[in-house]
Amino acid sequence: MHLEKILHTKYPIIQGGMAWIADGAFAASVSNNGAMGLIATGGRTIDEIRKEIEICKSLTDKPFGLNVLMLHWEVEAISDLVVEYNIPFVTTGAGNPGKYIKKWKENGTVVFPVVPTKALAIRMERAGADGVICEGTEAGGHVGELTTMVLVNEVAEAVNIPVVAAGGICNGRSMLAAEALGACGVQLGTILLGSEECPIHPNYKDKLIKSKSTSVKVIGRINGLPTRVVKNQMTKDYIDLEKSGASLDELEKLTHAALGRAVREGDMERGSIMAGQVVEAITEIRPLAQIFQELMEEYNVEKIKLCQGDRS
């Protein structure tokens, strides 16, 4: 892996741009501990995003980034913030950022769009992206159809820019698997929810510790936006509505502010508890430094074993 050389970080790890969760303080903590911290724009106004950038800059002298949600109602203004604050790194989600890439790159920003398909990855390379993040359906939150194993392999064979794997990455073995598929680094989301520094409600963290891989489910596959969450009363109600033929507007009424209820209020029944299939890997709350160190130690051990032909 060599993503760390591209991003000037200690580790080849990007923190996922988790809406309502990834604030300036958390991004700074991630960056200070050797990975690339990201501030999420999802769920925040332009003034709130500006505030989080200022907080992050005050807490770290390491590189950090901004995750730009292309569906954001103020996406134009957010694209200008990238230039105004000389943001070193940008990831994007939920759309095509092609129209902004040239402006960002001319400002010296490294751009890695998140892509759910090979076709979009190819378009991003043509648009001038520095790399792409291939997020498989194993991830938490909004997801596509393809698994990480299929997507990373397809994209790595189709483009000549760096590829980062996301979705289902939780330990050194999965990091090594991503590298074997052609990835130069990984993006982590779910596993970082179990960190001491992550600003989610204690109830959220407790719920994750108690959850198994079978505790998560995708809602929105019938008539909404596919989203992987931990099962609760909200998901049951949502699925019942979906099956009854409810409109997208009706479904959105049920989930409106649901992520905020989980993240900030700790509502584990009516809130949206976003998490990926690797949620079972969260068995305790640990410092970010420990999480990253153990990931890299496991990765190095597994790589040595593989090179020596030890398959045990």
Tokens representing residue 218 in the block: 């995708």
Each domain of the chain, given as residue ranges in start order, spans 9-196, 202-279
Name the β-bridge partners of 132.
163
How far is C-alpha 254 from the geometric centre of its chain's CA atoms? 24
Determine the pLDDT at residue 221: 87
Distance CA 228, CA 117 (A): 18
N- to C-terminal Cα distance for the chain? 23
| CB burial string 54-88: b at 16+ within 10 A, e below | ebbeebbebebbbbbbbebebbeebbebbeebebb
pLDDT tens-place values along the chain, 312 residues long = 799 999 999 999 999 999 889 999 999 999 999 999 999 998 899 999 999 999 999 999 999 999 999 888 898 999 999 999 999 999 998 888 989 999 999 999 999 999 999 999 999 999 999 999 999 999 999 899 999 999 999 999 999 999 999 999 999 999 999 999 999 999 999 999 999 999 999 999 999 999 999 999 999 988 778 999 999 999 999 999 989 988 888 888 888 789 889 999 999 999 999 999 999 999 999 999 999 999 999 999 988 888 877 655
Q: Which of 164, 170, 112 is nearest to 135 (CA)?
A: 164
Neighbours of 196 (CB within 10 A): 13
Q: Does domain 9-196 have CATH number 3.20.20.70?
A: yes
Determine the pLDDT at residue 310: 65
Burial class (CB in 10 A: 0-12, 13-18, 19+), 207: buried
**Strands lying side by side in the sheet with 216-219:** 141-142, 227-230, 216-219
pTM for this predicted structure = 0.94
How far is C-alpha 37 from the geometric centre of its chain's CA atoms? 11
Determine the pLDDT at residue 312: 55
Neighbours of 231 (CB within 10 A): 15
Distance CA 169, CA 258 (A): 26
Under DSSP, is residue 254 helix (H, G, I), strand (E, B) or coil? Answer: helix
Determine the pLDDT at residue 311: 58
Going by C-beta distance under 8 Å and a sequence separation of 6 or more, which residues neighbour residue 115? 121, 124, 132, 133, 134, 135, 155
Angle formed by the axes of helices 148-158 and 118-127, to 10°?
40
Give the number of C-alpha atoms closer than 13 A to the C-alpha of residue 107, restricted to the C-beta side.
19
Q: Which of 218, 210, 38 is nearest to 138 (CA)?
A: 218
Determine the pLDDT at residue 273: 95
